[in-house]
Amino acid sequence: MLYPIQNRVRNRLDISGIWDFKPDPDGIGEANGWALGLTNARPIAVPGSWNEQYEDLFGYLGLAWYVKRIYVPAGWRGERVFLRVGSACYLGTVYVNGVKVGTHEGGHLPFAFEITDHIRWDEENIVAISVENELRPDRVPSGNMPRRERGMFMGTPATTFDFYPFAGLHRPVVLYTVPQTHIEDITVITEVNGAGPRATADGVVKVQVKLNAAADGPGRVQLKGDATSITADLAFVKGVAEAALHVPDARLWSDKAPYLYDLTVTTAADQYSLKVGIRTIAVADGQILLNGRPVKLNGFGRHEDFIASGKGLNLPLLIKDYQLMRWTGANSYRTSHYPYSEEEMQLADREGFLIIDEIPAVSLQLADEANNPARLRLCLQQIEELIARDKNHPAVVMWSVANEPMPAGFGVGELGSHADDEKNRAGKAFLDALLDKAHALDPTRPATIVMIMGSPLSWLEQCDVICVNRYWGWYTLGGQLDLARQRLIAELDQMWAQFHKPIIMTEFGADTIPGYHGHPGLMWTEEYQADYVRCHLEVAATRDYVAGMQVWNFADFAAVPSIMRVGGLNHKGVFTRTRTPKMAAHVLREFWTKTSK
Ligand code: GCB
């Protein structure tokens, strides 16, 4: 799943913009020819969620149609043409000139269908995409579970998770071409020999190239940096070729110096270029090692979320968020709770952010065994698609294959308070299958599952890094930071004693209404959030095995309106939804600009 690029042999045309749009609550569109045009359509922005663009669409998650009329450039004749959707939440079906060309299930990941044979050259073409985001127990993520399984998120729409289930075409829609025989996939793995405290070391860039056909023949790969140009020959046998490029005195990629090389693969008919960072990531002796040296992941859990655009790609916001994260001194975040845009992953490479890359498996209700087979199939597909999409990003340092899978009869508790009993054994098998899949597809990166308070201990066994979400001082021991600190220390030490693996607190946070103050600082005030964050960072600083602290959340975000979510927002952001800092953001800056430089 290579990102579409424009170069001398490949073409790319972004057909995002304002499209025609029409909800289809009764599912009559296909039979009535909506794929060939909509009557009484309204304009809608692509990329963007539909829910905040029109008031009446806020709660609408059913089927809807997008239509756009386009010309395919005449010069593309003879090439193979694909239509690619960056993300459709949740089920997307593509039609070209009335012909259904394919359907894809699962949001937040790209899909492409070949449309060469359906194109009308020198005439207008009608592209239609129907999207539907119904919440169902057999989907990932799930919704409309039996009420007892939904815990505290009892609002409408009936999600199992704590963010608004935005719907629509969330990322660019592009047409692209490839030559008849073309490069289908490239895998880059880098090694570093003897990296010490220096920013350079001898590097190896291993490249595997796959063609779309089992062809034999020559090719070439070139790695270019400011002072480097290394080439190697490729010899394709049955469509596959490999090379190892040795880079003496390579400039390494790191969060502090994210140096990128240009890698170009050339074959008889095709050419593809991508950015490469030479770095290694490993877990050893209770630490995460970047280029052989311990690194701490300081930063956030986040969401793709903003006013009006919802979960739609919003490039100015992306730049702004990176600037704000840098301002706090953060060097990392998790793509909670689904893969973020490809444009964002490219920015992470360039800006030196360490990413925990997560599939959309949030709040899997594993005790609901009837739906587990369908959900397992989807999770495995999502792992495959995510690793195919993001494997070449140096910024991605770990795969997260689930966030807070739920044990049977869930209730917030202490470490291991849900037993490793019969009821939770099926859950363990499910989760182990996800970790096995990630390890098999990518042996170069650690894989993990982000655990909820009280998870059965056996669920953590196969994780390379222990990632836990903890709300001592908020959902439990609310307002009692002294007790919360003790619990946190006790639990962290217990996890370390049990697993001897690095621990990342992937969530800890307190809802905070911007502008609420108090002396003393009670829950919901900016003072309380500032004290809460300080308390957690102080504890982490005394524990070497704590390999990262990621505050929940970077910014306030749209949640499902309920008694838990004032104004429909989760207010645990250290920035507001419009990106103004709360007091806690300054606390982070104090800690992280001191310790991470
Ligand atoms: C969690 C979830 C996250 C929620 C958060 C909260 O544990 O992983 O999605 O938003 O708690 O604020 O309750």
Do 545 and 500 sit in the same domain of this protein?
A: yes
Structure tokens that stand for 300 in this block: 């956030």
What is the pLDDT of the chain when averaged over all its residues?
Answer: 96
For the CA of 572, the closest atom of ligand 1 is: 12
For the CA of 475, the closest atom of ligand 1 is: 13
Residue 376 clears pLDDT 60, i.e. is over it: yes
Do 110 and 168 sit in the same domain of this protein?
A: yes
Closest CA to 66 of 87, 93, 86, 84: 93
Closest CA to 51 of 136, 134, 130, 168: 168
- Number of domains composing the chain: 3
Instruction: Tell me which of 303, 475, 532, 552 to substitute to probe ligand 1's pocket, judged by most ligand atoms within 8 Å of the beta carbon.
Output: 552
* Nearest protein CA to atom 7 of ligand 1, as residue: 469
Q: How far does the centroid of ligand 1 lie from the alpha carbon of residue 183, in Å?
A: 41
Residue 177 clears pLDDT 90, i.e. is over it: yes
β-pair type (200-211, 111-114): unpaired
The CATH number that applies at residue 263 is 2.60.40.10
Do 346 and 251 sit in the same domain of this protein?
A: no
Please list every protein residue whose CB sits less than 6 Å from any atom of ligand 1.
162, 337, 403-404, 469, 507, 552, 570, 572
- 178, 210, 230 - which closes a domain: 178
Whether 288 and 397 have beta carbons less than 8 Å apart is answered as yes
**Sign of the torsion formed by the C-alpha atoms of 260, 4, 382 and 164:** positive
- DSSP class of residue 407 equals P
Cα pseudo-dihedral 383, 388, 393, 395, rounded to 10: 0
> What is the predicted pLDDT for the residue at 414?
76
First CA to last CA distance, the chain: 36
Residue 420 neighbours by CB under 8 Å, 6+ apart: 428, 456, 457, 458
* Nearest protein CA to atom 3 of ligand 1, as residue: 162
Do 81 and 30 sit in the same domain of this protein?
A: yes
For the CA of 509, the closest atom of ligand 1 is: 12
Q: How far does the centroid of ligand 1 lie from the alpha carbon of residue 413, in Å?
A: 15
Structure tokens that stand for 144 in this block: 């409309």
Report the C-alpha gap between 177 and 555 in whole angstroms: 38
Do 335 and 470 sit in the same domain of this protein?
A: yes
- 178, 208, 232 - which closes a domain: 178
The answer to the question of residue 420 being in a domain is yes
Q: What percent of the chain has pLDDT over 90?
A: 91
- DSSP class of residue 472 equals B
Do 210 and 164 sit in the same domain of this protein?
A: no
> What is the predicted pLDDT for the residue at 148?
56
> What is the predicted pLDDT for the residue at 153?
59
Q: What are phi and psi of 316, to 5 degrees?
A: -60, -35
pLDDT in tens, 180-228: 999 999 999 999 997 555 788 999 999 999 999 999 999 999 999 999 9
The answer to the question of residue 539 being in a domain is yes
**By mean pLDDT, which of 69-78, 195-204, 346-355 is the weakest?**
195-204
> What is the predicted pLDDT for the residue at 196?
59
The answer to the question of residue 220 being in a domain is yes
The CATH number that applies at residue 68 is 2.60.120.260
Structure tokens that stand for 491 in this block: 């639990």
Q: How far does the centroid of ligand 1 lie from the alpha carbon of residue 553, in Å?
A: 9
**Sign of the torsion formed by the C-alpha atoms of 98, 103, 109 and 111:** negative
The answer to the question of residue 286 being in a domain is no
Q: How far does the centroid of ligand 1 lie from the alpha carbon of residue 338, in Å?
A: 14
Do 317 and 257 sit in the same domain of this protein?
A: no
pLDDT in tens, 506-547: 999 999 999 999 999 999 999 999 999 999 999 999 999 999
Q: How far does the centroid of ligand 1 lie from the alpha carbon of residue 162, in Å?
A: 6
Q: What are phi and psi of 438, to 5 degrees?
A: -65, -45
- 125, 157, 178 - which closes a domain: 178
pLDDT in tens, 276-331: 999 999 999 999 999 999 999 999 999 999 999 999 999 999 999 999 999 999 99
Owning domain of residue 51: 11-178
Residue 429 clears pLDDT 60, i.e. is over it: yes
Residue 596 clears pLDDT 60, i.e. is over it: no
The CATH number that applies at residue 343 is 3.20.20.80
Residue 151 clears pLDDT 60, i.e. is over it: no
Report, as residue numbers or ranges, the catalytic residues: 404, 507
Whether 139 and 338 have beta carbons less than 8 Å apart is answered as no
Do 232 and 306 sit in the same domain of this protein?
A: no
β-pair type (447-451, 466-469): parallel
Task: Using a cut of 0.85, tell me whether the model's pTM lies above it.
Answer: yes
For the CA of 469, the closest atom of ligand 1 is: 7
* Nearest protein CA to atom 9 of ligand 1, as residue: 162
Residue 597 clears pLDDT 50, i.e. is over it: no
* Nearest protein CA to atom 6 of ligand 1, as residue: 162
The answer to the question of residue 284 being in a domain is no
Q: Is 279 helix (H, G, I), strand (E, B) or coil?
A: coil
pLDDT in tens, 95-144: 999 999 999 999 999 999 999 999 999 999 999 999 999 999 999 999 99
Do 149 and 207 sit in the same domain of this protein?
A: no
552-508-477 Cα angle (round to 5): 135
Whether 354 and 332 have beta carbons less than 8 Å apart is answered as yes
The answer to the question of residue 274 being in a domain is no
Q: How far does the centroid of ligand 1 lie from the alpha carbon of residue 576, in Å?
A: 17
pLDDT in tens, 401-424: 999 999 888 777 777 788 888 888
Do 136 and 236 sit in the same domain of this protein?
A: no
Reported as a pLDDT band with limits 50, 70 and 90, residue 353 is very high
Residue with tokens 């975000």: 557
Q: What is the mean pLDDT of residues 87-100?
A: 98
Q: What is the mean pLDDT of residues 135-161?
A: 82
Residue 42 clears pLDDT 90, i.e. is over it: yes
* Nearest protein CA to atom 13 of ligand 1, as residue: 162
Do 151 and 43 sit in the same domain of this protein?
A: yes
The answer to the question of residue 290 being in a domain is no
Reported as a pLDDT band with limits 50, 70 and 90, residue 558 is very high
Instruction: Tell me which of 359, 469, 511 to substitute to probe ligand 1's pocket, judged by most ligand atoms within 8 Å of the beta carbon.
Output: 469
The answer to the question of residue 280 being in a domain is no
Do 44 and 91 sit in the same domain of this protein?
A: yes
Residue 258 clears pLDDT 80, i.e. is over it: yes
Q: How far does the centroid of ligand 1 lie from the alpha carbon of residue 404, in Å?
A: 9
